[in-house]
Structure 1
Amino acid sequence: MDRLGLAEKMQQADRPIETLHLCDYQQGVLQTAQLDQAKEHFGFATTAIHGGRLQCILADSVGSGQLHTGRACHGVVQEKKHVRVHFTDGSVATACVVIAADGIHSVVRQQLFPNSKVCYSGQTSYRAVAPCTLPTAFDGLGYEMWAEGRRFGYSAINTGEVYWYITLDAPFDERDKTGLSKSELLKHFTLFPKSVLSLMQATPEQQIVRTAISDLVRLPTWHVGRTALLGDAAHATTPNLGQGGAQAIEDAYVLAQSLASHIDYTAAFTHYERIRRAKAQQVVNRSWQFDRMAHLSNPLMRTLRNTIIRSLPTVIGGRQLDTLYRLSF
């Protein structure tokens, strides 16, 4: 964002997270990660920002007349010298190349790779922004608490706004069913601290969003002909590392630079994928592994997990953050 000249606007709209507490609902804090080390290493702090505000910052930087919304793509037709994009309202757009950033359930990806597979994690999520203010002691704090088959996390994202999320084990055949009501969710967390329950209670029920948690099985490539995939359309990840949007932004930056520096679109797409694929896939894999670790069902394995996490030196967590934040371009 700094390279795009948007760092200052980001800092005006986000909230820094200096410390992350990883907790067990019975055993308390398992590990504390000092995220403020990121500022020492990279010049900028780890922050939390509302996704809508981030979109506004990016959209405003593009300028009026460049973005056209309110239409859904239902397919592309690749021809020798251009690509035609067909929309559900009957309109058609023509371009030299097309970049499909249409998410984990990408229509374009499904057309290019009919056998691509979205993999359900076995969990469903509920998330919202609570209209409340955390006590001063929680400034700069991110928090996640584990229990059998469930997790709860939160952090402030602005003055008077606290983002919170829940993950619950949910069988495959329940992934698309109607979600639990707020009162039912509260029952799942009666053993959690009152601060957890108060965030849920402060949130209007209609603002709670439910999503089945999935990722994408690795694709053979991210581009076919004049069409390339970006973000979740190319490498959707579970949200456990908070890296979905970040990886899409890295994709967009590298792809834009590649298209600007290569005359041939195939060379540009190849360069983009070569630079980005390894890190994006690493995020997908690590996020899935974190999910498995957090949702262990065996009590003995959970005890062993907690013991190991407590014994890990903080330097290991620092190295893991370094691999997430360090750019290779």
Structure 2
Amino acid sequence: MDDLKVVIIGAGMGGLATGIALRQVGYHVEIYDRVSELRPAGAGISLWSNGVKVLNRMGLGKAIAQIGGQMDRMQYHSHTGELLTDVSLDPLVQKVGQRPYPVARTDLQTMLLHEFGAENVQLNCKCVEIEQTETGVTARFENGRTATGDLLIGADGTHSIVRDRVLGHPTDRHYVGYVNWNGLVPISPDLAPANSWAIYVGEHKRASLMPVGDGRFYFFFDVPLPKGSVSTPDHYREELMSFFKGWAAPVQTLIERLDPLRTNRVEIHDIEPLERFVKGRVALLGDAAHSTAPDLGQGGCQAIEDAEVLTRYLHSTTLGVEDALKRYESERLGRTADIVLRARKRSHMTHGKDPEKTQQWYEQLKHEDGSDIINAISNTILAGPLH
């Protein structure tokens, strides 16, 4: 199909990646976002090899390598500092054909915006209604503007408005059971080796340091808490010191060193796998389609995979837009549902939903030679569209 005009709602990672991919095959793309200023949610993201491969195909391999962190190993420690396992990621890279690149979200969004053209993103455009005809689809915005195209892509995140229009009903977000604090700190040897992902586990909690570009660690803390707990940045350090009292020295140093005003605190939610992603000429993508807990590190990668699959079907099939979108939906429903449910299951295991299972996991880590970890990650990567 040639000369398509595509309207994308949402200028996050998924929307921008899709816009780039669609323009590269010759389509006219317009992106709209409700915000007045683009600010990526969260400080960092683990961009695993399946996501990187799609960016490579888009010609962004060199750019992502420049902003990504050098992550050569994974280390698990007990909360008191005992090294449980230390795994080289080289076998993973050899198995899947591409190294992962942990990256700061701001750097990733800047890279994608530069490629698409920030001037081509229309801000202050909150989509409030969608109308379809046999030949096109129109988005109406709160400010009175409209945008009409051959198809519309809802990449408007976990609180998606487009999703409600596709499904015909609102969806409930499911609280996974824990609160996550995350941010960036300078790489320092008293925190972790510069090329290692260091994870401290115990008491159903986690503290993690992952290298991203420009000499920084992306850090996060996880604590199981009741839904609706609140806090403010002026209490974050005190809060974390209480939750992680008695933990190893690097964890204490991290708490002292983080900047509370640049630290995010988020209740982690997902959404039950949807029954469909498509209605006529409208398709969902990214968190709008499959909002997942971050416990497999695959949320961003799945949005990027969506971009590749959607573009491929639009560009390669000749039975019309609606047929191409249905093929996209058919390929992505099972893949993303599997990610959502496995991430939820892993979250429960990690955060003490069944304390006995969590304790068994701690014990397994003491005897882990790395093969189970590498196999689990590589199987997830290789189930994607680019093997």
1:272 pairs, out of 305, 325, 328, with 328
Equivalent residue number for residue 227 of structure 1: 282
Identity %: 25
Read off the aligned partner of 1:328 and give its amino acid letter.
P
Aligned-residue offset at 1:25? 1.0
Equivalent residue number for residue 40 of structure 1: 94
Aligned-residue offset at 1:11? 0.7
Equivalent residue number for residue 99 of structure 1: 153
Higher relative contact order (CA 8 A, sep 6+): 2
**Structure-1 separation of matches of 2:86 and 2:270:** 27
Aligned-residue offset at 1:65? 4.5
**Structure-2 separation of matches of 1:169 and 1:118:** 17
Residues 1:236 and 2:291 aligned together: yes
Aligned-residue offset at 1:85? 1.1
Residues 1:294 and 2:350 aligned together: yes
Read off the aligned partner of 2:323 and give its amino acid letter.
A
Aligned-residue offset at 1:213? 0.4
**Structure-1 separation of matches of 2:208 and 2:343:** 16
Residues 1:281 and 2:337 aligned together: yes
Equivalent residue number for residue 316 of structure 1: 372
Residues 1:171 and 2:226 aligned together: yes
Cα distance change, pair 59–159 in 1 and its aligned pair in 2 (3 A): closer
Given that 1:133 and 1:159 are in contact with CA atoms closer than 8 Å, whether structure 2 keeps it comes out as no
Aligned-residue offset at 1:312? 4.7
SS at match of 1:2: helix
Cα distance change, pair 133–172 in 1 and its aligned pair in 2 (3 A): closer
Matches within 5 A, 1:1-329: 1-26=55-80, 28-63=82-117, 65-113=119-167, 114-130=169-185, 132-135=186-189, 138-174=193-229, 177-179=230-232, 180-263=235-318, 264-296=320-352, 300-326=356-382, 327-329=384-386
Aligned-residue offset at 1:305? 2.7
SS at match of 1:252: helix
Given that 1:22 and 1:29 are in contact with CA atoms closer than 8 Å, whether structure 2 keeps it comes out as yes
Give me the TM-score of the superposition, normalised by structure 2. 0.78
Aligned-residue offset at 1:13? 0.9
Which deviates more, 91-100 or 263-272?
263-272
Read off the aligned partner of 2:380 and give its amino acid letter.
L
What are the Cα deviations for residues 162-194 of structure 1, in whole angstroms up to 9, with x where unaligned? 2111111121243xx345532222221122222
Given that 1:116 and 1:219 are in contact with CA atoms closer than 8 Å, whether structure 2 keeps it comes out as no
Aligned-residue offset at 1:229? 0.3
Stretches of structure 1 that go unaligned for 5 or more consecutive residues are: none
Aligned-residue offset at 1:62? 2.0
Given that 1:101 and 1:229 are in contact with CA atoms closer than 8 Å, whether structure 2 keeps it comes out as yes
Which deviates more, 252-261 or 272-281?
272-281
Cα distance change, pair 192–110 in 1 and its aligned pair in 2 (3 A): same
**Structure-2 separation of matches of 1:126 and 1:158:** 20
**Structure-1 separation of matches of 2:128 and 2:179:** 27
**Structure-2 separation of matches of 1:117 and 1:298:** 24
Cα distance change, pair 258–154 in 1 and its aligned pair in 2 (3 A): same
**Structure-2 separation of matches of 1:15 and 1:258:** 32
Given that 2:179 and 2:223 are in contact with CA atoms closer than 8 Å, whether structure 1 keeps it comes out as yes
**Structure-1 separation of matches of 2:180 and 2:65:** 28
CA-based RMSD: 2.2
Given that 1:18 and 1:46 are in contact with CA atoms closer than 8 Å, whether structure 2 keeps it comes out as no
Given that 1:83 and 1:95 are in contact with CA atoms closer than 8 Å, whether structure 2 keeps it comes out as yes
Aligned-residue offset at 1:199? 2.2
Aligned-residue offset at 1:255? 0.6
SS at match of 1:192: coil
SS at match of 2:122: coil
Stretches of structure 2 that go unaligned for 5 or more consecutive residues are: 1-54
Cα distance change, pair 149–226 in 1 and its aligned pair in 2 (3 A): same
